[in-house]
Amino acid sequence: MVKRSYRYRFYPTEEQKDQLARTFGCVRYVYNRALAERSRAWFQEQRRISYAESSRMLTAWKRELGTTWLAEPSKGPLQAALRNLQAAFDKFWRKQTGYPQFKKKSKSKDSATYFANCFTYRSGQIKLAKQSQPLNIRWSRPLPAGAVPSQVTVSLDAAGRYHIAVLVEDTVVKHAPTKAVLGVDAGLTSLYAFSSGEKISTPRHEREDRVRLARAQRALSKKEKGSRNRAKARARLARIHARIADRRLDHLHKLSTRLVRENQVIAIEDLSVRNMVRNRSMARAISDASWAQFRMMLEYKADWYGRNVVAVDRFYPSSKTCSVCGRINDSMPLQVRNWMCPCGASHDRDVNAAKNIRAAGLAVLACGDGVRPPRS
């Protein structure tokens, strides 16, 4: 059994929109105030505030004269905000992320999580706490037979679209074992090159809508701040960005599902995308490729279906190494797409790198360690 989230779009009534807006605001306030209290306790008293202590603080905040409105929404989303903050600090203490940041009241995205005791699911309909009517959900695909939602998260994105993510327990049938092993090399001229010789062309979703984006951004910049016309222009721009993101997500989901279905072991590079996007000439193309998101999809789908994803050390010279004789070239400029090794082997740069990543991935799987270039 695994926990899976099914995401759907829904269309709230005006009353539900107003109630959700107040809930989103309360969630943001509780998160920020709890973060401020934790920061104060650490920097002034050198002590950590636990989740239980912050939960008691929330109860006291609801009784204060200035914040009695915190009792209006359901208690579930407010408790979920405290749990999310606790998870953020846990990652920070493990040095996985930076220090938690305050949430801004922006037009980007708002969300609220409801636990099982804060919503009802009956006859294929979901009704949230403190609401009189069930949500008008577009069930684009059915939930697993007999599945009972344990948690739902409602969200509002910058394009004005409401979504609900339904978390259920599902039985996943493992794929039949196979001997196929694939090396994957990320690139920009081709999105991915495989050790089998296949190349996946770059869809360039952002480039296709670049003219529309520029036009919408210019129109937004000319609108007066705070005006209704500026809000409309911001929504038009957000819809273009949402269209780009949806197409990119669909493409990556289909590709990752196919690779996990066909291969037992998938070897990839451990790329530092955060550092790579600092290159101003390549940042746009790298962001559009969304390598980090693709790796995340491969990893959780491989975990579901009994496959292995192996990350090869980012400093391994996969492009400079001959996949036939193992000779390492002193340099390999980016403009060199094909090259000949003194051993007589002719290489496509990306496919050769994918073959080396495949071999290194098998070594990592056998030895349990990263593969770094030899020191001279």
Task: List active site positions.
Answer: 185, 269, 350
Give the whole-angstrom CA distance, residue 205 versus residue 356.
Answer: 29
Three-class secondary structure of residue 75 per DSSP = helix
> At residue 335, what are phi and psi to the nearest 5 degrees?
-75, -10
Whether residue 113 contacts residue 77, with contact meaning beta carbons closer than 8 Å, is answered with yes
Question: What kind and span of H or E run contains 346?
Answer: strand 346-348
Q: How far apart are CA 285 and CA 205, in angstroms?
A: 10
86, 89, 95, 101: CA torsion to nearest 10:
130
Tokens in use for 19?
């109630």
Are 185 and 316 within 8 A, CB to CB? no
- Token pair for 253: 């989901």
Beta bridge partner(s), residue 311 = 268
Alpha helices in the chain (DSSP H): 14-45, 51-63, 75-93, 205-208, 210-221, 228-262, 273-276, 283-289, 291-305, 349-367
